[in-house]
Structure 1
Amino acid sequence: MSQTTQDQDQSKKPLYGLALAAIGVVYGDIGTSPLYTIKECFNPIHGLPLTHDNIIGVLSLVFWSLLMVVSLKYVYCIMRADNRGEGGILALMALATRTQHRQRGQFSIYILLGIFGASLFYGDGMITPAISVLSAVEGLKVIAPTLEHWVIPITITVLVVLFAMQSHGTATIGKLFAPIMVSWFVMLAVLGIYNIARSPEVLGAVSPHYAVQFLLAHPWLSFITLGAVVLALTGAEAIYADMGHFGLKPIRLGWFGFVWPALVLNYFGQGALVLTNPAAVSNPFYMMGPSWFLIPQLILATAAAVIASQAVISGAYSITWQAIQLGYCPRMAIRHTSEKERGQIYIPGINWALLAAVIVLVVGFQKSERLASAYGIAVTMTMVITSIMAFAVLGRRESILRSPAKRYALFALLALFMMIDLAFFSANAMKFLDGGWVPVVIASFTFFLMTTWKRGRRALFHRLHDGELPLAMFVESIEANPPHRVDGTAVFMTGSTDTVPHALLHNLKHNKVLHEQVVFLTIQSTDEPYVAMKERLQVEQLSPSFWKVVATYGFKEEPSVPDILALLAETHQIDFELMTTSFFLSRETIVDAKEPVFSWLRRRLFALMQRNAARPTDFFKIPPNRVVEMGTQIEM
C-alpha cells in the first residue's frame, strides 16, 4: 500500500468515527419520526381517504420534504452559516446581527427573532420527550390491547427515570447511544425493505409528479396533510445546532450515507404495508414486522425515543447556557458532569421544570396523535426564523458577494426554502386550537422572561453607573491622597470599565481602608462561541497599585475568576495569593422608583429573577470565603 493511500485511510478514520458518534446524538429526534408521521397523515380527523393515489402522494410529499428541507436546506445550505464552527438559532442570531454592522432596525429585528426562536426550542424540548416516549410505549396496545391503560403510567415512569438520570451526566450513557441508534436505523431500513418487497410500486413515489398530482387533486386536504408531513422533519434544527460538536463533514456523511436512506426506506415500507393492509394505518410502524418481533421492536423504539429525548434535554441545557452568557437569562446553578468535555452540563432548574411540563403534556393529551397537533407549530416557526436569518448571513459571505451568479442562485434557493417553510407553517397554524397553542404559549412566556431580563439588566446597569465617578480621576486622587492601605489584594467585580464600582465607594465609606493592590475586573461575553486565549485579557495599569482587567469569553465558554487570576500571573506577572485576596461584589436590591423604567409586571418579574439568580461566587467560581458583598438599593 502506498504512503498516500495510508494517509487517506488514516484521515478517514476520525471522519467515520465522528459520523458514527453523530448518528447516536444528532439524529435521535428525526430518527423517531417514523413512529407517528404516516399514522398522523392518515388520521381520520383529517378526512383524507385511504386510496392508492393518496398513499403514493403522501409518500412522495414525505420524500421530497426530506430532500428539500433537511438535505438541501439544512445539511447542504444552512450549515454553511456557521459561527466559527458553531450552529443553532442563537449562534445564527449572533452572526446575523454582526453581518448587519449593527444597523439599529435590522439589528433589533434579528435579536428578537433569535430570542423567539430560542424560546420555541423550549416548547420543542417539552413536546419531543412526551410524543417520542408516548409513541414508543403505545406499541403495547398492538402487542396486547388489554394493556392500553398501562401506557400513560409506563410513559411517565420512563420519563421520570430519564430526567432523574440527568444529574449523572451523559458521559457514560452516551457511549451506548451510537450502537443503539445504529441498530434502530438498521431496523428501520430492514422493516422498510421487508414491506417494500411486497408492494414495490411505492418506489415510484420518488417521482415529484405524484406529490404534485396529490396537491392538485385535493387542494384543501393536501394542505391539511402538510401539517402532518412536517412531523417527518422534526429534528432538522438539531442537525444544525449540533454541528459544533461533530463538524460539517461527519454530519453530512451520517445523513446522506446512512440516516436518510434508512428513513426513506421505512416510510416507503409503511406506505407499502398500508397499501396491502389498510387496517394497519392505525399504527403502521408496529405492524411492519412479524408478530414475534413486536417486543424487540418496542424495546428498541423506547430506547431510541429516550435517546431522542436526551438530545433535546441536553440542547435545552446548552441553549440556556448560551442565553446566560449572552445576557438573556439570569445566572443559574450549573453542574459540569464531565472533567474532559466542557459542553456536558446539567442545570437542575431547567431539568425539573422540563419534567413537570412533560408530565403535564402526557397526562393532558393522553395520545401521541393529539400531541402531534401541538408539535408542528414550534418546528415550522423555527424553520421560518432560520430561513430569514440565513438570508442575512449567507447573502453577505465574501465568496457569495464576489459572484453575482452565485448570489442570485443562493437567493432563489433561499426564497424557495422560505416558500416551503411558510406552506408548512400555514398548514400547522390550522391546528392552533387543537393543541398548537401550547408551544406558542410556552415560547411567548419564555420570550417575555428573556426580554424582561435583558431590559432589566440594561436599565440596572444604567442606574448603577449613572453619576458614578470617572475611574481615571478617582485613581489619580487616591494615589495623591491615599487612605490607610492594608496588606493584600482587593478584586472589585464591576460591569463598567471606566467608572468607580459602588462596592469600592462603600468600602471606603464604611471601612476607611484600601488594599495595597486593587484590581477592577470586568467579565464580558461576546457574540462569538469561543475567544482565543491571546485575546482573553485586556490589562491596563492605571497606577502603581491599580489595575484594570477586562476578561472576554465566548457564549459557549465558562468564566472562571481563578483561571483569570492565573492567566494574569502568567502573562503580566501580577501575582495573586488567594489567601490574601478579597473579592468585593455589589448586591443590588430593586425598589420602586417614582418614574419606573418599565411596567409594574416587568419590574416585579425582574426583581424576582434577580433575587433567585445564582450567586456570582458560584457562577464565576470565586472562593466564597474570600468574598465581601456590599448591598445597595436601586430604584427602577
Structure 2
Amino acid sequence: MNKKITVASLLVALGIVYGDIGTSPLYVMKSMLGVNNGYVSKELILGGVSLVFWTLTLQTTIKYVMITLEADNKGEGGIFSLYTLVRKNAKWLIVPAVIGGSTLLADGMITPPVTVTSAIEGLTLVFPIETKGIIIIVISILTVLFMLQRFGTDVIGKVFGPMMVIWFLMLLILGFSQLMQYPSILKALNPYYGLHLLFTSPRSVYILGAVFLCTTGAEALYSDLGHCGKKNIHYTWVFVKVCLVVNYLGQGAYLLLREGKVIDSNPFFLIMPSWFVVTGTMIATIAAIIASQALITGSFTLVSEAIKLNMFPKLQVRYPNDDKGKIYIPAVNYLLYIGCVLLVLKFQKSENMEAAYGLAITITMLMTTILLSQYLSHNKNKKIMSKIVFIIFMIIEVSFLYANLFKFIHGGYVTIIISGALIFLMYIWIYGTKIRKRFNEYATILDFKNHLKSLKEDEELPLYATNLVYLTESQNYKEIERKIIYSIFNKQPKRAKFYWFINVKVTDEPYTTSYSVQTIVPNEAFSIQFILGFRVDQKINLFLHQIIQDLVKSGEVKYTPKDYMVGYNGKCVVGDFKFVLLEETLSNESELSRWDNFITSSKLLIKKITVSPAKWFGIDTSVVKIEKVPIIIGNKETITLRRID
C-alpha cells in the first residue's frame, strides 16, 4: 500500500520518521571526541567522519532504505511485519523476531531521554542552568510529548514536519559554512581514512561505539513505514542524508582547524555563530523532541503487530486518525513515559546516557539481518543476494555489537534488562499458548446434535437467549472445545434458538476482511470463521450482526421478528444476543511440571490485568456473560475411595 506523494505526506514523513537519525549530529561527534578525552587529532576526525559517512551509506541507505523497505507487508514495516513474511520458512525464526522486537522497544525508552537532554544541555552555553534544572525541563518536555500521542501521528506529523525542514536546513547551512573554511575535510569521504583509524587506533572499539550512534534510528525508520509509506521515505531520505553528511563534514572541518587542542564543549553548538546560539539551541531542542516521536510511533506499531500475531498480551489499540496505519496504544504510551522519566532521573546527563545508548539496537539490527536474508532467499528467491546481504551486514553489525558491549557496565545493562523482561513476557505468552494447545480437548459438535434438539425443546428451561455466541479456538467447524459443550449442557443449561461458534483467524496480511459460514445443524447451530488481517480492529459484535442479517435475507436462518420489535437504522431485527466468554483458571487437578505450571499461571495472571476479551473483540459488555472454567492439563493419578462400615 504505497501512499500518495504530496507535500503534506512528505512533511509528515519528515516529522515522524527521521527524528532519531536526524538529531544524531547532536551527540555523535561529541561522543567521538570523548573517546579521546577531548583531544583533537587529524586521524580521529578524518577517520571518524569517514566511518560516519560509510555507516550512513551502508547501514541506513543500502540496508534499510534500499533493501529492507522493499520487504513490506502490504505497506506495513517493522521486524514483526518482516517475520510474518518469512515465518512459514522455519519455526526457529520466531526467536530473532522476539529478540529484535524486544530490544527495539527497549531502545525506544532511552532515545527520548538522550536526545532531549543533549539538546537542553546546549542551553548551558548561554544560560547558567544546573543539572537539576535540566532534568526538570527534560521531564516537562517528555510529559507534554507523551500527552500529545493520544491525538495521533497525523496531528503530530503536521506540526513536526515543518520544524524538521527548518532543522535539516539549519544542519545544511551550518555544516556548509564550516566546510567552506576547510574544504580538505572532503577527504573523509574516502573509506581509507575510516579503515586506517579502525586498524591503527588503540581506542578503535570505543570509536566504533560512538560512530554507531549515527544510524540508531534506521530500525525505527523501517517500523514507521506504515505511518508514512515507502515512497515518502525514499524521497525524503535523499534530502535528509545530504543535510546530515554536510553537517558532519562541517563539524569535522571546525575541529581540524583546531587540531591539537582539547575541546570539552559539544562541537555541534560550537559551529554556530555566537548570535545564533540561542535560536539554534531552541531549534535543536524542538528537533530532539521530534526525535523521540520516531521510536514512540515505531513502538506502537511493533506492539500492535505482536498482539495480532499472538506474541504479546492483548492491549487496547486505538486509531486516532482515519488512516489505519496510524495507531495509539495507551498502555505502551504510559510505560514508555514512566521508563523515560526513570532513565532521566538515573543518568541525569546526556554523556551518561550515551554510554548506555546503542547496545540494544545493535541486537535488533542483527535480528533484522537474519530475517531479511531469509526473506530474500525464500520469498524473493535471490539466494546469492541473500548470502551477500547476510555476510556483509553480519560483519558490520557484529563489529558494532562488539564495540557496544563495552557500554554494558556503563549503563547498557539497563536496556538489556528491559529487553530481557520483554523477551520473557513474550516467551510466557507464546509458550503458555503452546502448553494450552498441547492439552486442549475438542469434541465433535455433530455428536451432540440430539442433545441440542432436546435442550431446545425443553420448555421447563427459560429461553437463555435468541442468539447464544461462543468464541472457539478451533478452526475446524466440526469441532469445539469440551469446555464449551460443558457450558451449554451442564453449567446452567442454556436454551437458545440459535447457537453460534466463532473463530477468529488472523492472517499475515494486514487488512484482510472476510468470513466463512458452515451450517452444523440447519437453522440451529452455525460455525463462523472471521479471516481478519493483523491490523484490522476485531469488532466481532458488529460483524456478527451483519452476517446474521445476511443469512436471514438469504433464508439460511429462518427467523420472524415479533410485531413489537423495532428495527435500528433500517436493519432487520435478528433477536437478542448473549456472548458467553469462558475465563480460564488453572485447576488443582492439573499435572504439570513446575516450570509449565509457572508459565501457565503467569499467562492467566497477565490475561486478568490486560484488556478483557469483550473489549478486545468489540463485544457490547451488556450482552456478555463471563463463566469461569477450570483448565485441567494432564491427569493426576485417580484415588479410589473404599467404603467402610
TM-score by length of 2: 0.88
Q: How far 1:186 sits from its partner (Å)?
A: 0.8
Q: How does 1:525-536 map to 2 (within 5 A)?
A: 525-531=506-512, 533=513, 536=514
Distance 2:222 2:472 in 1: 36
In structure 2, the CA distance between the partners of 1:346 and 1:246, relative to structure 1 (3 Å rule), is: closer
Question: 1:372: how far off?
Answer: 1.3
Deviations 1:559-594 (A, max 9, x none): 111332244146544688476111111111234555
Q: Secondary structure at the residue paired with 1:43?
A: helix
Q: Among residues 300, 307, 314, which one is paired with 2:290 in the alignment?
A: 307
More helix by share: 1
How far, CA to CA, are the matches of 1:570 and 1:175 in structure 2? 42
With over 3 angstroms needed to count, the CA separation of the structure-2 counterparts of 1:76 and 1:625, relative to structure 1, is same
* 415-424 vs 277-286, which moves further: 277-286
Matched letter for residue 623 of structure 1: D
Q: Per-residue deviation at 1:374?
A: 1.4
Q: Structure 2 vs 1, CA of residues 577 and 620 (structure 1 numbering), >3 Å: closer, same or farther?
A: farther
Superposition map of 1:57-68 within 5 A: 57-68=47-58
Residue 14 of structure 2 is matched in structure 1 by 23
In the alignment, the residues of structure 1 paired with residue 3 and residue 538 of structure 2 have an alpha-carbon distance, to the nearest angstrom, of 35
Alignment of 1:182-201 (within 5 A): 182-201=165-184
Structure 2: how far apart are the matches of 1:410 and 1:350? 34
1:502 to 475, 480, 483: 483
Alpha carbons 1:484, 1:513 under 8 Å: kept: no
For residues 116 and 410 of structure 1, what CA distance do their matches in structure 2 show? 21
What is aligned with 2:432?
456
Could you say what secondary structure the match of 1:346 adopts? coil
User: Is 1:560 the equivalent of 2:539?
Assistant: yes
Within-5 A mapping of 1:330-369: 330-338=313-321, 340-369=322-351
**Amino acid paired to 2:427:** T
Give the whole-Å Cα distance in 2 for the aligned partners of 1:107 and 1:84.
Answer: 22
Residues 503 and 585 of structure 1 are in contact (CA less than 8 Å); yes or no, is this contact kept in structure 2?
Answer: no
Deviations 1:280-304 (A, max 9, x none): 5521111221122122222222211
In the TM superposition, what are the counterparts of 1:207-606 in structure 2 within 5 Å?
207-218=190-201, 220-256=202-238, 258-277=239-258, 278=261, 280=263, 282-338=265-321, 340-398=322-380, 400-401=381-382, 407-463=383-439, 465-466=440-441, 468-475=442-449, 477-479=451-453, 482-484=456-458, 486=463, 488-497=466-475, 498-500=479-481, 502-531=483-512, 533=513, 536-544=514-522, 545-569=524-548, 572=551, 573=553, 577=573, 580-597=576-593, 599=595, 601-606=598-603
Choose 545-554 or 577-586, whichever is displaced more. 577-586
CA RMSD of aligned residues (A): 2.4
Q: CA deviation at 1:501?
A: 5.7
C-alpha distance in 1, partners of 2:4/2:620? 44
Residues 15, 164 of structure 2: 8 Å contact kept: yes
Distance 1:244 1:146 in 2: 40
After superposition, where does 1:69-88 map in structure 2 within 5 Å? 69-88=59-78
Change in Cα spacing, 1:200 to 1:571, as seen in structure 2 (3 Å) is: farther
In 1, the alpha carbon distance for the partners of 2:449 and 2:248 equals 71
2:39, 2:263 within 8 Å by CA — same for their partners in 1?
A: no
- Contact 1:537–1:549 at 8 Å: present in 2 too? yes
What aligned pairs does 1:102-181 form with structure 2 within 5 A after superposition?
106-108=90-92, 110-181=93-164
Q: Distance in 1 between matches of 2:3 and 2:74?
A: 23
Q: Which amino acid aligns with 1:107?
A: K
Q: Secondary structure at the match of 1:336?
A: coil
Tell me which residue corresponds to 1:7: none
Partner SS for 2:155: coil
Opposite residue 547 of structure 1, the aligned amino acid is F
Secondary structure of 2:443's counterpart equals: coil
**Corresponding residue SS for 1:547:** strand
CA change 1:248–1:630 in 2 (3 A) is same
Deviating more after overlay: 193-202 vs 64-73: 193-202
Unaligned runs of 5+ in 1: 1-10, 101-105, 402-406
Supply the distance in 1 between the matched residues of 2:161 and 2:305 (Cα, whole angstroms): 26
Percent of counterpart pairs with the same letter? Answer: 34
Shift of 1:76: 0.9
Residues 408-438 of structure 1: CA deviation (Å, up to 9, x unaligned): 3452243112111111111111221111111
The one-letter code matched in structure 1 to 2:611 is A
Separation (CA, whole Å) in 2 of partners of 1:501 and 1:577: 32
| Residues 64-73 or 501-510, more deviating | 501-510
Is 1:612 aligned to residue 602 of structure 2? no
Deviation at 1:262, TM superposition (A): 0.4
Post-superposition shift, 1:375?
Answer: 1.3
Change in Cα spacing, 1:475 to 1:345, as seen in structure 2 (3 Å) is farther
Contact 2:38 2:264 in 1 (8 A): no
Structure 1 residue 264 displacement after superposition:
0.4
- Structure 1 window deviating more from structure 2 (31-40 vs 565-574): it is 565-574
Secondary structure class of the residue paired with 1:469: strand
Q: Quote how far apart the aligned CAs of 1:345 are.
A: 3.2
Structure 1 SS opposite 2:480: coil
Report SS of the residue matched to 2:629: strand
d(CA) in 1 for partners of 2:80 and 2:133? 40
Cα distance change on mapping 1:626 and 1:482 into 2, 3 Å: closer
Q: Greater shift after overlay, 121-130 or 567-576?
A: 567-576
- Per-residue CA distance 1:181-200 (angstroms, 9 max, x = gap): 11111111111111112222
Equivalent residue in structure 1 for 2:631, among 613, 630, 634: 634
SS at match of 1:628: strand
CA distance in 2, matches of 1:397, 1:589: 41
Rounded to whole Å, the distance in 1 between the matches of 2:326 and 2:3 is 26
Separation (CA, whole Å) in 2 of partners of 1:598 and 1:524: 32
How far apart are 1:154 and its partner, in Å? 0.8
- Residue identity in the other structure for 1:444: G
Query: Can you give the 5+ residue segments of structure 2 that lack an aligned partner in the other structure?
Result: 560-571, 634-645
SS across alignment from 2:358 = helix
What whole-Å deviation, never above 9, does each CA across 1:202-255 have from its counterpart, x for those lacking one? 11111111112222321x312221011000001101222222333322211111
Task: Name the SS for the 1:164 alignment partner.
Answer: helix
Q: Which has the larger radius of gyration?
A: 2
Aligned counterparts of 2:621 and 2:3: Cα–Cα separation in 1: 48
Q: Contact 2:8/2:158 (CA < 8 Å) preserved in 1? A: no
CA distance in 2, matches of 1:490, 1:276: 80
Q: Give the conservation status (yes or no) of the 8 Å contact 1:461–1:495.
A: no
How far is 1:310 from its partner? 2.1
Q: Is the 8 A contact 2:107 2:358 kept in 1?
A: no
What secondary structure is seen at the aligned counterpart in 1 of 2:517?
strand
Number of aligned residues: 604
What is the distance in 2 between the residues matched to 1:387 and 1:283? Answer: 33
Whether 1:624 and 2:600 are equivalent positions in the alignment is: no
374 and 205 in structure 1: CA distance in 2 versus 1, 3 angstrom threshold:
same
How far has the Cα of 1:509 moved from its partner?
Answer: 2.2
The change in CA–CA distance for 1:598 and 1:264 in structure 2 (over 3 A counts) is: farther
Q: Distance in 2 between matches of 1:294 and 1:445?
A: 42
CA contact 1:62–1:232 (8 Å) conserved in 2: yes
